[in-house]
Amino acid sequence: MNILVINAGSSSIKYQLIDMNTELPLASGLVERIGLEEGVVKHKTFVNGEENKITESFPIPDHAVGLKRVAELLTDEKVGVISDPSEIKAVGHRLVHGGESFTDTVVITDEVKAKVKELFPLAPLHNPANLVGVEVAEKVFPNATQVGVFDTAFHQTIPEKAFRYALPQKFYNEMRIRKYGFHGTSHKFISEKAIEYLGNKDAKVITIHLGNGASMAAVKGGVCVDTTMGMGPLGGLIMGTRSGDIDPAIIFYLTQQKGFTADEVADLLNKESGMKGLTGFTDMRDVEGNFVNGDPVAVLAINMYVYRIKQYIGSYAAAMNGVDAIVFTAGVGENKTPVRRMVCEDMTYLGIEWDAEKDKIRDKDVNEINTDGAKTKVLIIPTNEELEIAKQSMELIK
């Protein structure tokens, strides 16, 4: 069974075609600069262990043109990996915000699309683009079942004491203002891998997803009990361009005393803060390079970044009354970085002890990097959100 996974952004389409018999990709790629003068398609195929790359530049006025070209490449006589689009049994869509309406993966119907539209105000940058991806895929792959996998669904098990804010009741009852959480597909995938590795279905796991966007989750017995992002993806950890947690009084000060508009504050906190605001760089590799060279700006920024992660580890250990493993994933979490060492330093009270030699090895799906005999496991597990979306899609249509 072949399943195509699509993550549609406002000007891009990220995709991966997965053979579910092997759970390996047949092809993957990115359509970007949609709607601009010159678009780009970057397409990769994986055949007999060989990776082949194709890059094309041409006007891509809308998502329909981009996805149609993807279908052509997938079935091309020379570079195609399938003979006909009908060989794709399902298209799994990443949908960012499901609100309280979607607690699980769903087959996309007209009713589902209408509900996703209702949720546009909760994710104005993501849900509209996600829905465009669905509507285009329905036309390009009419024989495939369209499946929606929501970023927020995994976090819908969080108890009310953790997801509610201390605002007047009507703000929740009438406006559904609450914590929703994001990166749920990643947290679900790596927590399940960790629980399987630990051999304990009741394990208490803290998952740490560190990419340009970053979040953590507390997972007890496979069930999410808390997460760092809130109603939107701005809260929690320090990120590439997002501030993470701040005192709300800062917003009042900027708008009431310094003349900032609400839009300017939104841009500041979402696009100009985090590592970009602290250092001028959004890529952690640049920040870490300066950190290693002793640049005081980078040293402070990395220490702030790590301190916030450690705060949440302590908070989630308290929420679960213990922790059996912490798990690092995503770009910063998986790759060469001083962050893991620094997070694990001075955490022996929680049984967390880092092993430098083990951290150099990446030869398994789950890599254990704690010292021998450490009470708490420290794991690196590469995330695979596309495979998780494909697996959930397959389970739904079997």
Catalytic residue numbers?
151
* Residue 334 CA: distances (Å) to CA of 10, 170, 346, 361: 27, 42, 21, 11
Annotated binding site for substrate: which residue ranges?
A: 94
Residue 236: which residues within 8 A CB-CB, separation 6 or more? 214, 215, 216, 227, 228, 229, 230, 244, 245, 308, 312
Report the alpha-carbon angle 269-210-54, nearest 5. Answer: 100
Give dist(CA 223, CA 95) in Å, integer.
21
Give dist(CA 75, CA 78) in Å, integer.
9
In the sheet with 50-58, reading across from the earlier edge strand, the strands are 50-58, 39-47, 24-32, 12-19, 2-8, 88-95, 145-150, 106-107
Annotated binding site for Mg(2+): which residue ranges?
A: 7, 385
